[in-house]
Structure 1
Amino acid sequence: MVCNIKQVTKNKKQYLSLLLLGDEQESMIEKYLKSGQLFVLEDNGVKAVCVVTDEGNGICELKNIAVEPNAQRRGYGKRLINFLIAHYSGRFQLMLVGTGDVPSAIKFYKSCGFECSHRLENFFTDNYDHPIVDSGVLLKDMIYLKQKIPNTAA
């Protein structure tokens, strides 16, 4: 698989339709899209996007990752996360990611090297203007996972 991953700094909202797959409320995306770093994975067209924010104290957070539906389960999400870990080496010590309490999502992040960190109770019910359902699960709490970023920068 020959992929090209690039950072996009202008006209980030052109990827909104794909970002909405990872976070279905536009007002929530707008909160982190402006200050976050947007990365796009291309392989004969855009296959995946993600947004990472600087949370301070050596911590970054993967706020959104989304893969085109017809490109899912082909390794694009994992490839993007592996890129981010390498890209942020020497800049951050820890990456966080928050997700709904959905077994398939937690399994995916664990397969990418994340481990469970903590839970924010009622995050989805308190912060979204409508019920969020993922894989048949009504989301209530945000489950955070973490991964240490090795300092491989020379």
Structure 2
Amino acid sequence: MKIKQITQNKKQFLELLLLADEQESMIDRYLERGEMYVLEEDGVKAVCVVTDEGDGLFEIKNLATDPLHQRKGYGRKMIQEMFSHYQHKGHTMLVGTGDSPLTIPFYESCGFVISHQIENFFLENYDQPIFENGKQLMHMVILKKYLKYPPLFPIICIMV
């Protein structure tokens, strides 16, 4: 298993990217400014795009696994590698996903916790309704995971 960064011709993986983000114009908003990685094991199994949101904050904008290879640990492995890679560059990783009972538990099992929700995100930003497991997605749920321990409040010691 090998994870490598893709710096050119990122759209060659569009079919896979569309599994996680169903509208190409939305992918275009982050693809070129993001860092893209592919996980290979006898062919490409998963892709991930991470953006630098500034001040030590990174966001997974797209994580997709080939449907023939889902539920085999490739997505989890990709997330673990992203944590390892970005912990030296920042303090927090975010991921936004639909308000779906399929994806939220996966991210929680990878150590993310729900941070907040962007109301009506999918209704206001996508041309067509997006459905997952028969449910129309409306809100984007933002999850976060600290790449390093959260900053501590300064402790003041007074010696008497």
Tell whether the structures are fold-level matches, with TM greater than 0.5: yes
Q: Find 2:22's aligned residue among 21, 24, 28.
A: 24
Mapped pair 1:100 → 2:98: yes
- State the SS of the aligned residue for 1:103: coil
For the aligned residue pairs, the C-alpha RMSD in angstroms reads 0.8
Correspondences of 1:45-124 after superposition (within 5 Å): 45-124=43-122
Aligned counterparts of 1:13 and 1:145: Cα–Cα separation in 2 = 26
Q: Distance in 2 between matches of 1:36 and 1:131?
A: 25
Query: What one-letter code is carried by the residue in structure 2 that aligns with 1:139?
Result: L
Distance in 1 between residues matched to 2:44 and 2:70, nearest whole Å: 12
TM-aligned CA deviation for residue 150 of structure 1: 2.4
User: 1:98-124: per-residue Cα shift (whole Å, max 9, x none)?
Assistant: 000111200000010000000000100
Report how far residue 67 of structure 1 moved. Answer: 0.2
Name the count of aligned residue pairs: 149
1:129-144 alignment runs, 5 A limit: 129-144=127-142
TM-score by length of 2: 0.92
Output the CA distance in 2 between the equivalents of 1:62 and 1:134: 19
How does the TM-score come out when normalised to structure 1? 0.95
Q: What is the CA-CA distance between 1:13 and the residue it aligns to?
A: 0.4
Residue deviations 1:42-72, cap 9 Å, x none? 0100000010000111100000000000100
Structure (1 or 2) with the larger CA radius of gyration: 2
Q: Following superposition, which runs of at least 4 residues in structure 1 exceed 3 angstroms of deviation?
A: none
For structure 1, the 5+ residue unaligned runs are none
**Partner SS, residue 130 of structure 1:** coil
Aligned equivalents of 2:97, 2:133: Cα separation in 1: 12
Separation (CA, whole Å) in 2 of partners of 1:128 and 1:59 = 25
